[in-house]
Amino acid sequence: MVDVEQLLTRLYGDEGRQDPYPTYAGLHALGPITALPPRPEHRAIAAVAVGYDLVGAVLRDPEWYKQPPPGWAEQEILRTFQTSMMFVNPPDHGRMRHVFAGTFTPRRLGALEPVILRVADELLDAMADAGAGGTDFVADFAYPLPARVMAEFIGIPEADLSWYRERVDRIDEFLDVAGKTPQRLAAANTAGAELRAFYADLLAHRRRSPGTDLISGLVEAVDAGGIELTEDELISNLIVLFNASFVTTVYMFSNGLPLLLAHPEVAAALPGDPELTAGAVDEILRLEAPVHFLARAAPRDAVLGGVPIARDQNVLLVIAAANRDPARFPDPGRFDPRRSGPPSLAFGIGLHYCLGAAVSRLEGRLALPRLLSRFPRLRIEERPTYSGSLFLRGIDKLLVHTGGEERP
Ligand code: HEM
């Protein structure tokens, strides 16, 4: 049998980064959790878990905590992460999350629907204007849709979006599981400092001339003393919120399109079938999860699935592999939008469950049928390549041929 060392060597290489799923299948064959041999890039990671039930149980247990990698404390980028809900533990986590969760109300979600439809239609119009030829689906649709929708929701000027993305990319490269090199750290630090300055300006601007966006609402609440959040924490949370909100959703679209087009009967039926569309969006997220790894540290000496984990050691939780656990998802690699079974772990679970899960699902449910009814002959021009990151995995460029539009 192949051992974990061989599997990880493959995973960290180019082949594994392009297609990690054979490695995940190999890890499943070893069991729900496997102890890791010590390697410099593993730092305090004691084991890798892929079993759906085991991964879910660790994430649901509020005592398993998020631990910053050693040596981060002096770094600018860590300061940002460590003062945001995504990276802190209770009780600070609950205090911060509460502020933002309060803004994700059903009413606000309802108000997003027309924004999503308007932005989707504008992008589809532009694709149609370009004629029946080739286009990069990521540049023309998958990226600008969530970026513009979330920017409008949060209150980030659209003109700043490309500048912004470069900074986000620097941070995401550093977050990659094997990406913590000094050069990437330095680049992430600079990006973090630039984003902080950007938000400090934006908050000052919104203070002077408030709008109806999330930032204006938060600034008003902080200034009125109604919110238990310092300005520093507000900035950190906004950075993390916007980062979390669109890079992931870009990949929901770009990873999802090849799956849909490989199943023409599903693609053709989506426009008239909201239930099928909802199932297809969830199945895309299960099979091609944008986030592959999470990690949690043990609150005390523990034994997980027979593997001893010492206190403060981490377990790498491969949610993208848990989503293909053959024990929970029969024929796990098959795309089946009518599949019943447990929810995927694409949005995590437990305390840190994705705050924007409903937003992303809504974007997918509204925009994908729109796209497929407008371009029923859409096809992929060349084999896509993936980002190469093992943390956020997705297609960054996807050449498609629209095949001409169909006006309803
Ligand atoms: C398909 C798109 C998305 C995916 C796959 C995704 C995935 C995730 C995952 C796996 C987590 C859990 C992190 C952990 O447990 O350590 C998470 C947390 C989070 N997500 Fe998302 N996300 C998506 C979209 C969004 C959107 C649209 C927003 C904002 C509108 C958002 C905001 C957040 C925030 C703020 C957290 C941290 C919550 C906390 O720590 O309490 N995400 N997301």
Residue 343, CA distances (Å) to 93, 245, 322, 340 in order = 24, 20, 11, 9
241 touches ligand 1 (CB under 6 Å): yes
Segments in 209-356 forming alpha helices (H): 214-223, 231-261, 264-269, 274-287, 319-322
Sign of the Cα torsion 29, 31, 35, 39 reads: positive
Q: To test the ligand 1 pocket, which listed residue (355, 359, 368, 389) has its Cβ within 8 A of the most ligand atoms?
A: 355
Cα 284-242-348 angle, rounded to 5 deg? 45
Give residue limits of the domains in the chain. Answer: 4-401
Q: Is the pLDDT of residue 39 over 70?
A: no
Residue 116, CA distances (Å) to 111, 121, 145, 379 in order = 9, 8, 8, 23
Name residues whose C-beta falls within 8 Å of residue 24's C-beta, 6 or more positions apart in sequence.
50, 318, 320, 321, 324
pLDDT band at 168 (very low <50, low <70, confident <90, very high): confident
346 touches ligand 1 (CB under 6 Å): yes
Q: Is the pLDDT of residue 408 over 70?
A: no
Coil vs helix vs strand at 105: coil
Q: pTM, whole model, 2 decimals?
A: 0.93
Helix axis angle, 161-175 relative to 144-154, nearest 10°? 100
User: What's the CATH architecture for 4-401?
Assistant: Orthogonal Bundle (1.10)
- Mean pLDDT confidence for 10-27: 90
Q: To test the ligand 1 pocket, which listed residue (65, 236, 248) has its Cβ within 8 A of the most ligand atoms?
A: 248
pLDDT band at 377 (very low <50, low <70, confident <90, very high): very high
pLDDT band at 60 (very low <50, low <70, confident <90, very high): very high
290 touches ligand 1 (CB under 6 Å): yes
348 touches ligand 1 (CB under 6 Å): yes
